[in-house]
Amino acid sequence: MQPQRPRPRARLGPPCLGCQHPSARKRNPMFTLSQGSFYFHFHNLLHANGRHTTFLCCRVEREHEGLMDRRVFKNQVGSDHAELCCLYWFRDQEFFPGEDYQLTWYMSWSPCPHCAEEVACFLAAHRNVSLTIFIARLYYYWVPEYQRGLRRLCQEGAQVEVMSFQEFADCYEEFVEEPFRPWKGLYSNYRMQESKLRKILGSTVSLLKEETFLFQFNNRHRVPRHCGPHRPRRKTYLCYLLARPGDTTAPTKGCLQNKKGHHAEILFIKRIRSMGLDPSQDYQITCYLTWSPCLDCAFKLAKLQKDFPRLTLRIFVSRLYFHWIRKFQKGLQQLWLSGALVAIMGLQEFTDCWNNFVNHQQSSFAPWDKLDAYSKNIRARLGRILRSWGCRPIPPSGEDSR
């Protein structure tokens, strides 16, 4: 792999909304990427010679409006890397302080340590901005400083993933605007890059912001007024713990959310299968979800349980998704019949999720008003659903009926 040449880097300065860098106006982002540039620079080769340029394709989404903008950046010769160019440009845009923003980056190279630190500081200062980074290739993945940079991003809430076929296709169709044609070795190279990234990140998990957890995992029927009376909870968050019984090492953690065309449960299944778990070994996975799975996700989770007969899969959900529709009820029934435990989050599960997956600055979980009452009502509803399909009722939180 040919490294990018070292060059002077400008700092982002005070991280406040609307601040600008003196040279930010000189960076003119593109709207699309040429076909040749994409196939050359985003090729996920393990040894990518001659690729000195980093391309970053950015999609900006706003909570109530969906897609807000999309641009393509590349590192500036003798100046800033693509990540900083994107952040300077983003700060120039019109902000709506009460809104949440989702940035999705498709990058040809993973960030260097300096850019990782700058992006992490930006996320720490702008609590209403969430970032997902899909990378085609890992940049200097064997150097400890670069590994620490990736872990630092995750610690500030960024979700860092390797681009699979679906991400390559999404990026190509959105920024090149043509049907994607995969190259030979795409999947095997993805598996290698994914394995290296998982080793780098280890037990590091993209932590949720406190306000995100308190809003998205809240089990009230109506959204609290202080969160915005017209702010729907459309996102699904899935936090998981993977451990082996009797193993004293720290469990593997992960936190996922639904993306364009991908439910969080499908991303979770894909990640678990990519780990190469031995079906003959014992594993325990505990999942915490904001919404119960849809029909398709429930069937695929059930298949995962059946493919790993010695897996103990526990799924705790905060709220039931379209629980009055029979096909969604059938999904819960099939998931239960597969051997997975499906239950409703109570105070203990909310506390465990808070302690493991929230950047809470050492503060303890403070339950909202009537949390136990809401959990009890939702648990009773789930019990009625399962009984109507001939399944045993769900036990109270923390108890296993099997």
Rounded-to-integer distance, Cα 335 and Cα 387, Å = 14
Q: Which of these, 194, 172, 137, 190, lies nearest to 37 by C-alpha position? A: 172
Which of 83, 161, 167, 265 is flagged as catalytic? Answer: 83
The yes-or-no answer on residue 265 being catalytic is no
Sheet holding 237-243, edge to edge: 252-257, 237-243, 283-291, 311-319, 341-344
Rounded-to-integer distance, Cα 331 and Cα 389, Å = 11
Single-letter code of the amino acid located at 95: F
Rg (CA), the chain: 22
Tokens 């449960």 found at: 265
* Residue 81: Cβ-neighbour burial (10 angstroms; 0-12, 13-18, 19+): buried
CB atoms within 10 A of CB 264: 24
DSSP characters for 326-380? HHHHHHHHHHHHTT-EEEE--HHHHHHHHHHHB--TTPPP-PPTTHHHHHHHHHH
Annotated catalytic sites, by residue?
A: 83
